[in-house]
Amino acid sequence: MPYLLPIQVSINQGDVLGGSMKNELCSGYGQHHSPNASHNPKPLAGVTWEEILELVDNPQKVGKSEAQWLIPSTLKSRAAIDQKAHGEYWLLWADIDENPPVLEILKDVISSIVFGCDFEAYTSYSATNNNQKARVLIPLSEAINPQLWVVCQQALNNALEERGITPDRVNERPSQLCYLPNDGGYYRHSSIRNRSNFKPAEAFSAELERLEEIREATIKTKELQQAIAEQKRLNRTKEGTESPIDWYNSNTSISSILIEHGYVQHDNQSFTSPWSQSGSKSTNIDPSTGRLHALSSSDPLYNNGEGAHDAYSVYTVLTHNSDDKAAWKAVSDMMKQAQDVAVVSPLDKLLAYSITNITDELRAQMFDDVYVFKGLAIRGQWTVFYASPNTGKTLLSLWLLREQLQGNEINPATVFYINADDAFKGSVEKAELAKQLGCQMLVPGIKGFRTQEALPLMEGLVQLKQANQAIIILDTLKKFTDLMDKRTSSDFGKIARLFVAAGGTLICLAHTNKNKDHEGQSIFSGTSDIVDDADCAYIIEGGEATGGKLAEFHNIKCRGDVEREVCFRFDREAASYERLLDSVERIENSKEDAFVSEAILNKELADDRELIDSALGFMPEEGIAKTSLVKLITDDTGVSRRQVIKTLDKWDGDEYFKGHRWKSRSGEKNAKIFEPIKCPFFGKQGGH
């Protein structure tokens, strides 16, 4: 097992002092700290273990954009290619964001994994008492090479999962940033400091051997499967018969079907379902049989342990919604067309589909997580933003794009904004902005471009292996597909998924439904196919308050490290589009922001305006009994009695500026009496 050998480094006795390392690890301040940044480049910093311990005990108190981080290698480089070639790693680390245990339980779990050796556990910047997100740092007894470090990180994450804790596996990347202790309002830490450092190659020896055995078994299984497939082909050729199912299984890999339908591949056997919320590797191909098992009930391939899927079965479920008749007909047609064109052996097709010999090329197409829209849209993913008209989705998209372009986070030459939802004047204004930023803007009807060309162009980028050079923004999505038609939306999703799987980035702006859900929240327009197929989706809620408009981004589906909620404010009355764009402001702490609170209150009042107006219309100054009032409002509006009572209770109180529009008191025989309250400024009853 070559990757199990530690690198040969010169270690002085003074370098490792029990739990104290004198080696400086790569460090910096804020996500953009880099010597290669075109804006404010700075050399990378260093941080020692003693300095880390000091931060654990006395954390920094800064915004995340200024917070100190480390890469657990002595090589001062943020480039993954450099770390993979020359990195010298002194720490293992873990990041627990999803359903984290309380810190004391996490301490016990880590202690059991490292056998009582030293470690530091601390809550992250966004942690709360009820959601103790945390990071763990484990110092090593000696430096290890990048290959061993990656496998040890995998072993550490596996050990955490075996104990019921879900780690964020992004920490398996050699250049991933690990943020150091930072007090965001709730901070706790727990440590073991016995000056005894961890030896992962010894502690994880069994797991490392298991991972190596899996790798070797995968190679042997693939060779065996190819031999079996070839023998079956020869047998069928002699017999002169072949069923559509056998033909399809011989000519199609399960992996290719899964990838086409949005499954994320981790290795030759493990996949994450696009329906998974946790990101777990719950869809697996058995290397001994080549058949698929789905362990998550959210996966349409899940069958409660009753049998396993071959390629044809996977195709039937995912492509034809388990309609055997439709799948049989489609495969029979495919088989006939293939036979009419040429006879190609399954083995040749398997070899043609294999990616084994192009892993270097594929790896070159991979990106570390880079935001196209900061905190909201990741490069290499398909993200959809839903909002009602005039909410500001185009404005905010351009502002978010400008933010990343001006910060040199993405290359403007790769950005293609297709503005298909604007008047001529607006198109020109936005094209001038694109010119300033150095990116490209396409408008239907100008220079011969048509919206119908977008999908063929995306397919062409895939075929020419240029998809990873393009960030495409579609504004709005309804101009490129019929969101109300399930088949058309599904066909669009297939092309979008192929484009993203080839390294492309797709961002779509779309509209919400005119009707709200039962809780009064906006819902996406059209069928669920777009949300089902996309990597990430947001609903944008609008609002107004004194001095501007509010836009709230609420995540409804995600893959990767994106924000769940983000708020922005802007001045809708700005004199020009440029000033309107400059007025946009990200609200960092929305839960405590007075503007946000006012806008949300105004929105809720607007949503209930019909019932409020009806109630006030029937409510005399001396008051009215609840039973009578409820009947009058119900007859007037046609709204259910339950909803009317809920609204009456919601706006009941003495404080007008908190939204109260009436107050209740007890009358005769304990009857509940409602009286209107006046606006303090105008003396009007129940004015909005």
- Bridge-partner residues for 79, per DSSP? none
> In the structure, what pLDDT confidence band is assigned to residue 365 with cuts at 50, 70 and 90?
low
DSSP 3-state of 605: helix
Burial class (CB in 10 A: 0-12, 13-18, 19+), 340: exposed
* Alpha-carbon span 273 to 278, nearest angstrom: 10
C-alpha dihedral (252, 253, 256, 257), degrees to nearest 10: 70
Does residue 50 sit within a domain?
A: yes
Which two structure tokens, joined as six digits, stand for 160?
């955490």
Are 423 and 572 found together in one domain? yes
pLDDT of residue 601: 86
> In the structure, what pLDDT confidence band is assigned to residue 260 with cuts at 50, 70 and 90?
confident
* Alpha-carbon span 401 to 581, nearest angstrom: 11
Find the CATH number of the domain harbouring 379. Answer: 3.40.50.300
pLDDT of residue 214: 64
Which two structure tokens, joined as six digits, stand for 546?
């004194």
Mean residue pLDDT across the chain: 85
> In the structure, what pLDDT confidence band is assigned to residue 664 with cuts at 50, 70 and 90?
very high
User: Any idea how long the chain is?
Assistant: 688
Are 391 and 492 found together in one domain? yes
The residues, ordered by sequence, that sit 6+ positions from 673 with a Cβ below 8 Å of its Cβ are 623, 624, 625, 626, 664, 665, 666, 667
C-alpha dihedral (333, 336, 342, 346), degrees to nearest 10: 70
Rama region for 30: left / alpha / beta (φ>0; ψ in -120 to 50; rest):
left
- Domain count of the fold of the chain: 4
Are 581 and 473 found together in one domain? yes
**Half-sphere CA count of 301, side-chain side, radius 13 A:** 31
Find the CATH number of the domain harbouring 670. Answer: 1.10.10
Which two structure tokens, joined as six digits, stand for 82?
């450099």
Are 337 and 431 found together in one domain? no
Are 197 and 57 found together in one domain? yes
* Alpha-carbon span 437 to 441, nearest angstrom: 11
Find the CATH number of the domain harbouring 115. Answer: 3.90.920
pLDDT in tens, 109-130: 999 999 999 999 999 999 999 9
Long-range contacts formed by 13-17: CB under 8 A, 24+ apart: 16/141, 16/142, 16/197, 17/195
Which two structure tokens, joined as six digits, stand for 218?
């995968």
Q: DSSP characters for 366-419? A: -----EEETTTEETTSEEEEEE-TTS-HHHHHHHHHHHHHHTTSS-GGGEEEEE
Does residue 658 sit within a domain?
A: yes
Quick one: which of 250, 255, 253 has its CA closest to 267?
A: 255
| pLDDT of 538 over the 80 cut | yes
pLDDT of residue 401: 95
pLDDT of residue 682: 53
Domain range holding 409?
Answer: 371-593
pLDDT of residue 135: 97
Are 25 and 142 found together in one domain? yes
pLDDT in tens, 440-486: 999 998 888 888 889 989 988 888 888 988 999 999 999 999 888 88
Does residue 361 sit within a domain?
A: no
Does residue 213 sit within a domain?
A: no
Quick one: which of 189, 48, 23, 51 has its CA closest to 120?
A: 189
Poorest-pLDDT segment among 51-65, 356-370, 378-392, 508-522: 356-370
Which two structure tokens, joined as six digits, stand for 628?
């009578």
pLDDT of residue 655: 87
| pLDDT of 8 over the 50 cut | no
Are 461 and 517 found together in one domain? yes
The residues, ordered by sequence, that sit 6+ positions from 305 with a Cβ below 8 Å of its Cβ are none
Average pLDDT over residues 618-637: 92
Average pLDDT over residues 193-197: 92
Radius of gyration of the chain (CA): 30
Higher pLDDT, 683 or 309: 309
The residues, ordered by sequence, that sit 6+ positions from 185 with a Cβ below 8 Å of its Cβ are 128
pLDDT of residue 19: 37
Higher pLDDT, 86 or 593: 86
Q: DSSP characters for 297-312? A: TTSTT--TTS--B-HH
Are 340 and 375 found together in one domain? no
Are 167 and 230 found together in one domain? no
Quick one: which of 335, 336, 294 has its CA closest to 317?
A: 294
Does residue 687 sit within a domain?
A: no
Does residue 113 sit within a domain?
A: yes
Does residue 631 sit within a domain?
A: yes
The residues, ordered by sequence, that sit 6+ positions from 241 with a Cβ below 8 Å of its Cβ are none
For the whole model, what pTM was predicted?
0.46
| CA-to-CA dists, residue 390 to 177, 383, 396, 543, angstroms | 38, 20, 11, 11
- Amino acid identity of residue 536, one-letter, is C
The residues, ordered by sequence, that sit 6+ positions from 630 with a Cβ below 8 Å of its Cβ are 641, 644, 645, 648
End of a domain among 294, 323, 354? 354
| pLDDT of 210 over the 90 cut | no
Which two structure tokens, joined as six digits, stand for 364?
């070159």
Q: Which residue has the tokens 């005039």?
A: 390
Cis peptide before 123 (omega within 30 of 0): no
Instruction: For the chain, report the end-to-end CA distance as a whole number of angstroms.
Output: 73
Are 537 and 625 found together in one domain? no
Does residue 366 sit within a domain?
A: no
**Half-sphere CA count of 641, side-chain side, radius 13 A:** 6
| pLDDT of 367 over the 60 cut | no
| pLDDT of 10 over the 50 cut | no
End of a domain among 203, 237, 264? 203
Quick one: which of 98, 92, 102 has its CA closest to 123?
A: 102
Angle at 600 (CA atoms; ends 625, 565), nearest 5 degrees: 135
| pLDDT of 231 over the 70 cut | no
DSSP 3-state of 111: helix
Are 301 and 333 found together in one domain? yes
End of a domain among 529, 562, 593? 593
pLDDT of residue 399: 95
Are 615 and 559 found together in one domain? no
